[in-house]
A and B are shown apart, each in its own frame.
Chain A
Amino acid sequence: MTTMFDKLWQDHVVAGKPGEPQLLYIDLQLIHEVTSPQAFEGLRMNHRKVRRPDLTFGTMDHDVPTENIFNIQDTIAKAQIDTLEKNCKEFGITLAKIGDSRQGIVHVVGPERGLTQPGKTIVCGDSHTSTHGAFGALAFGIGTSEVEHVMATQTIWQTKPKAMGVHVTGKLPHNVFPKDIIMGLIGKYGVAFGQGYAMEFFGDTIDDMSMEGRMTICNMCIEGGSKTGMVAPDAKTYDYVAGREYAPKDMAKAIAYWKKYKTDDISDFDKVIEFDVSELAPMITWGTNPGMATSVREPLPAVEDADDQKAYDYIGLHPGMTASEIPLDYIFIGSCTNGRYEDLKVAAEFMKGKHIAPNITAWVVPGSRAVRNRCMDEGIAQTFIDAGCEWREPGCSACLAMNPDKVPAGKHCASTSNRNFEGRQGAGARTHLASPAMVAAAAVAGHFVDISQAVTA
Chain B
Amino acid sequence: MEAFTTETSKAIVIPNDDIDTDILIPKQFLKNILRTGFGINAFYPWRYHEDGSQVEDFPLNQKAHQGATILITGNNFGCGSSREHAVWALTDYGFRAVIAGGFSDIFFMNATKNGLLPIILPEADRAILRECQADEEVTIDLEQQVVKFRDHAFHFDINATWKEKFLKGQDDISLTEQYEAQIKAYEAKRPVFD
Partner-B contacts on A (CB < 8 A):
14-15, 20-21, 23, 25, 27, 34-35, 37-38, 41, 46, 48, 63, 74, 76-77, 79-80, 83, 119, 125-127, 129, 140-146, 148-149, 152-155, 157-159, 161, 191-192, 195-196, 225, 227, 248-251, 253-254, 257, 289, 307, 400-402, 409, 419, 421-424, 427-428
Contact = CB atoms under 8 A, between A and B. Distances in A.
B159 A20 contact: yes
B182 A15 contact: yes
Contacts of A63: 31
Contacts of B123: none
Given A143-B87, A146-B110, 19 more contacts: A23-B176, A35-B82, A35-B84, A79-B31, A125-B82, A140-B106, A146-B113, A152-B173, A154-B183, A155-B183, A161-B105, A192-B76, A196-B105, A307-B16, A307-B18, A400-B27, A400-B81, A402-B27, A427-B28
Interface of B: 16-18, 20, 22-23, 26-28, 30-35, 45, 50, 75-76, 79-85, 87, 102, 104-106, 109-110, 113-114, 159-162, 172-173, 176-177, 179, 182-183, 186-187, 190-191, 193-194
A159 B182 contact: no
Contact of B194 (A25, A141, A225, A249): A249
Contacts of A424: 22
A46 to B, nearest CB: 7
Given A20-B160, A146-B113, A76 B190 contact: no
Contacts of A125: 82, 84
A142 B107 CA distance: 9
21 contacts: A14-B183, A20-B160, A20-B161, A23-B176, A25-B186, A27-B190, A77-B31, A127-B81, A145-B110, A157-B172, A191-B76, A195-B76, A225-B79, A248-B194, A402-B27, A421-B23, A422-B23, A422-B45, A423-B26, A424-B22, A427-B26
A274 B154 CA distance: 37
Of listed B23, B176, B191, residue having the most chain A CB within 10 A? B176
B86 to A, nearest CB: 9
A143 B83 contact: yes
Contacts of A159: 159
B27 A401 contact: yes
B34 A41 contact: yes
Contact of A191 (B18, B33, B85, B191): B18
A15 B179 contact: yes
Given A14-B183, A80-B31, A422-B22, A143 B194 contact: no
A191 B45 CA distance: 21
B45 A76 contact: no
Contacts of A158: 109
Contacts of A155: 176, 179, 183
Contact of B182 (A23, A46, A143): A23
Contact of B79 (A191, A251, A253): A191
A25 B182 CA distance: 10
B90 to A, nearest CB: 13
B54 to A, nearest CB: 16
Given A159-B159, A195-B76, A127 B176 contact: no
A25 B193 contact: no
Contacts of A192: 18, 75-76, 79, 102
Contacts of B31: 34, 63, 74, 76-77, 79-80, 402
Contact of B173 (A46, A80, A141, A428): A46
B82 A421 contact: no
Nearest to A151: B173
A219 to B, nearest CB: 13
Nearest to B83: A35
Contacts of B102: 192, 195
Contacts of B191: 119, 257
A421 B106 contact: no
A103 B131 CA distance: 52
Contacts of A127: 80-82, 106
B82 to A, nearest CB: 4
Contacts of A48: 173
Contacts of B35: 38, 41
A336 to B, nearest CB: 12
